[in-house]
Amino acid sequence: MNLFKRLFKQSSSQPEDQYIVTVTEETISVYHPKWSNESVNWKEVHTILLVNTNEGPWLPDVWLTLIDNNGKCMIPQGAKGFQQVYDIVSKYDGFNFENAIKSMSCTDNSQFLLWTNKEQLK
């Protein structure tokens, strides 16, 4: 019986558990042991998206994406730190809550614009 349990035991970890999100006053960064680090400067962020994929449940399928002129930082929904970052950016003037709701009911590969600062775009 123990062999049967070990063979069919479901892992309690989720793919999002591998991501480490670090939030400071200046930056937000995401680390994953198998990918390169991503980081953006809060003051330089010009676009915030929710990016949906059809990769779940084996891979993260909803990503909060912050973009500045030097790159982007993608945080999978469910990662520790996702909610903290979402709570911060959802207070930005002009944040699109309607698109956030649309993203949560989408199972296709799609992007939903949540916020943009055209003055920061280059």
pLDDT of residue 2: 57
What's the pLDDT at 36?
Answer: 83
At 59 the pLDDT is 83
C-alpha closest to that of 67 among 117, 31, 13: 117
Alpha helix locations (H) across the chain? 2-8, 82-89, 97-104
Query: pLDDT value at position 72?
Result: 96
Distance CA 52, CA 55 (A): 9
Domain architecture of the chain: domains with CATH: 16-116 (2.30.29)
Ranges of the chain whose pLDDT falls below 50:
none
**pLDDT at 74 (0 to 100):** 96
Q: How much is the pLDDT for 107?
A: 83
122 and 68 Cβ atoms separated by less than 8 Å = no
Give the pLDDT confidence of 76-106 residue by residue, as tens digits: 999 999 999 999 999 999 999 999 999 998 8
User: Is residue 19 within 8 Å of residue 78, measured between CB atoms?
Assistant: no
